[in-house]
Amino acid sequence: MSDWRFATPVRLTFGPSQQRTITNAWEAVELLLRDWPGRRDHRYKVALLACQDALEGFRSGRLARKALVRAAKMAGFGVSST
């Protein structure tokens, strides 16, 4: 079984009233593909690939989470652990 769950959820803040908590690579992929409010730059693409790889068992949830956090920070979103 693949390790696609995040040990610590990530709370992203997109604006004054928009927050989203991501607990696993599946939720991260959904956010990245459907609801990402930022630019789809290099960090975005790295995060998407890392999360998809985690779902397939090629990467750990820890690495996927790390890539998502980096992409969110580069996009200027608020990032915190819950």
What pTM did the predictor assign?
Answer: 0.93
Token code pair at residue 72: 């969110």
Query: What is the H or E stretch that residue 65 is in?
Result: helix 61-74
Token code pair at residue 12: 């992203």
Residue 2: pLDDT band with limits 50, 70, 90: low
Name the β-bridge partners of 57. none
Is the pLDDT reported for residue 82 higher than 90? no
Total domain count, the chain? 1
Give the model confidence (pLDDT) of 27-52 as tens digits: 999 999 999 998 999 999 999 999 99
Give the rounded percent of residues in the chain with a pLDDT score beyond 90. Answer: 84
Give the pLDDT score at 1. Answer: 46
Q: What's the Cα-to-Cα distance from 80 to each of 6, 17, 45, rounded to whole Å?
A: 13, 15, 21
What are the start-end ranges of the H helices in 3-59? 25-30, 42-56
Domain span holding position 12: 5-81
